[in-house]
Structure 1
Amino acid sequence: MKLNQIKWGIIGCGNVTEVKSGPAFQKAEHSSLVAVMRRNKEKAADYARRHGVPKWYHQADDLINDPEVNAIYIATPPDTHAQYAIQAMRAGKPVYVEKPMALNHAECQKMIAVSKETGMPLFVAYYRRTLPAFLKMKELVESGVIGKPISVSITLVKGASEQDKNTSNDNWRVDPKAAGAGYFFDLASHQLDYLDFLFGPITRVAGTAVNRGGLYRAEDTVVASFAMESGVVGNGLWSFVADESATKDDLEIIGTKGKINLPSFQHTDLKLTTAKGTLSFSFQNPENISYNLVDQVVQSLRGEAECVSTGVSAARTNWVMEQIVQDYYH
């Protein structure tokens, strides 16, 4: 399909849409945000007022069926991604959905099937595929400056938040029924998707998930090993209940002639180390961090460009994560 002006509606105008994504739909050329929906009427109206959005709803059906809305961004927790995406695509509207793509890989496959059946494009918000530091890492790897890539190592270790320590915690991100798993699905999905972008699909994977903090039902510590179709092998460690002294955020790629290090979430310098020494590269992200990807989605819907993050690519990341944590949930 090809659209001229993209008129977006948002289902689920919560925190992620305040700065990270929402304003990007208004800033991209040939794009506007015309309606938002949230089940809480007061919060939906407040969001629309503060962001200059002309219409708001408190039922998803009303937004999906609004004739002015011709594309839909789904920013609810993962347990409703498939439901709303399928409904929107069957209503003839392309969909841009938050990550992870869905509650599980089976739901992702259903979404892809409906996208093919209806001809409606399906995109997923893995915006690191469009951020300057991560594009630089890809450029450096492909230039051969670190030689032949051998391995990749992901480390994401954090302390528990005060919210997590609260026994009345109602954080959906650590409720497997709403999120599919815990913070691992929420955060590692970005990292594993980026590796798919960098080295191709992960084809073999094994992992172990445990709960060491006892703060919530979901896993809080995960280890994994994997291999990509390109032959690069990797490992990962994720923990969200460690002592603050152990905090670490690092993505390291080792090659035959050097290595590259880049934090996944801290937005600090990329470091390239070779026999010549270490070079640092600094980057400025867009004010609304999803902007580059949103702009690319708009261009794709206008028939001007291909989008790097689709339902097909994003579903692979759901499969990988599911393989890693499956024993914990069975």
Structure 2
Amino acid sequence: MIKPAIKFNINPKIPKRIKWGIAGDNINIGENFLPAFNKVQFGKVTSLYSHNLTIVKKLAEKFSIANYSNNYDQFLESEIDIVYFANTNSENLEMIKKAATKGINILCESPIALNIKEAEEIIRICSERNVNLFINQAHRLHPLLIKAKELVDSNFLGKIISVSVSLHSSIMKNESEDSGEHGIINELGFQAVDMLRFFGGEISEIKGYIDNFILHSSKEDYSAAIVKFSKVGYGIFSISAFAKQRINHIEISGINGTLLIENNLGKKMNSSRLVIDVHKEGKMVFRKRANKITAMIRSIHKTLSKNLPPFTSGEEGLKNLIIIEQLKKN
């Protein structure tokens, strides 16, 4: 007797497994980005590219990644859905053109390009090819930062008076070295401006300073600026690259009180703190440890599977770049 075939009801809501590729020579992806996939469903890194074949071979072996290459065209043919560019932004334009032409979605570091013209071209190419362009602003996805944003948007603090961002990094190994490839303004300036815009809204004006008074090198190691928000209030940021210990905090002041967010930026699993101090309600302190990179990957998967807007788009990255360029001209 022939038994009828068993029919399985496949849940159409289960998203397909998203295949990631990573392009770049940054060995640090093995310390933060790749391990984040251990807690992500329906996504896997399946291909690596680098000029340095030794780097990608070691990473591929360590994380059991099947495909790796130092040939970019070969890398793009490995059936990936999205590519994360971990390389310097000086190479982004031509590499993104090739990836977008093949319909591959893009995740870039900030800034997305060396100048406004290149950034606009990247956005245009991705739009024409109907691919998503994401910017790595994973700090926006920390639960305490999201809660602080909800409180600000709900008028919990009343009218916002000011937003202050302080980022002091220990990125230099010693006092004789330059502060990164492009200086502190590219290392931390974009994060500072992004946080000001995240809480205060669009920026209509910026005035400030960029200096190299710590190392006296060709690269800047300090910057401070004050911004005017389009709707209401002012913002301030101070960034440097000479702190022996990394320090970062964001303070939002309103007529009803303040919010203070500490230790949100930086390492993927920082224990952050949110302090709420409101008139007649006393002070409340909340602590939370969260993997922002894992949260970013999940957000990207949600965007791709449900056709939602990116959590930080290329346009957001362009707005930050325009503000930084205005500061450099001051």
Task: Report the TM-score when normalising by structure 1.
Answer: 0.86
Match of 2:32, SS state, is coil
Aligned to 1:179: none
1:26–1:33 CA contact under 8 A, matched in 2: no
Pair 1:51–1:160, CA change in 2 (3 A): closer
Q: Deviations over 1:155-176 (max 9, x none)?
A: 2235673x24345x6xxx6223
Match of 1:36, SS state, is strand
How big is the alpha-carbon RMSD for the aligned residues of Structure 1 and Structure 2? 2.3
Question: For residues 177-196 of structure 1, what are the structure 2 equivalents within 5 Å?
Answer: 182-196=183-197
2:25–2:51 CA contact under 8 A, matched in 1: no
| 1:221 counterpart letter in structure 2 | Y
Aligned to 2:58: 46
2:24–2:49 CA contact under 8 A, matched in 1: yes
1:308 to 307, 311, 317: 311
Percent identical among aligned pairs is 22
* Structure 1 unaligned blocks of 5 or more: 177-181
2:283 to 278, 283, 286: 278
Question: For residues 21-170 of structure 1, what are the structure 2 equivalents within 5 Å?
Answer: 21-25=33-37, 27-66=39-78, 68-158=79-169, 161=172, 163-166=173-176
Please state how far the C-alpha of 1:253 moved relative to its aligned partner: 0.7
Greater RCO between the two (CA within 8 Å, min separation 6)?
A: 1
Q: Deviations over 1:33-65 (max 9, x none)?
A: 110011111111000010111111113222123
Aligned to 1:268: 272
Pair 1:205–1:76, CA change in 2 (3 A): same
1:28–1:298 CA contact under 8 A, matched in 2: no
Task: Report the TM-score when normalising by structure 2.
Answer: 0.86
Q: Distance in 2 between matches of 1:197 and 1:236?
A: 13
| 1:126 counterpart letter in structure 2 | Q
* Structure 2 unaligned blocks of 5 or more: 1-14
Number of aligned residue pairs: 310
Pair 1:15–1:99, CA change in 2 (3 A): farther
Q: Distance in 2 between matches of 1:35 and 1:158?
A: 32
**Pair 1:319-2:322 in alignment:** yes
Please state how far the C-alpha of 1:153 moved relative to its aligned partner: 1.2
Aligned to 1:207: 208
Q: Distance in 2 between matches of 1:165 and 1:281?
A: 36
Larger of the two Rg values belongs to structure: 2
1:207–1:323 CA contact under 8 A, matched in 2: no
Aligned to 1:255: 254
1:13–1:47 CA contact under 8 A, matched in 2: no
Q: Distance in 2 between matches of 1:136 and 1:291?
A: 18
Match of 1:88, SS state, is helix
Q: Deviations over 1:262-314 (max 9, x none)?
A: 1243643111112232211111212xx31111111111111254321111111
**Pair 1:174-2:172 in alignment:** no
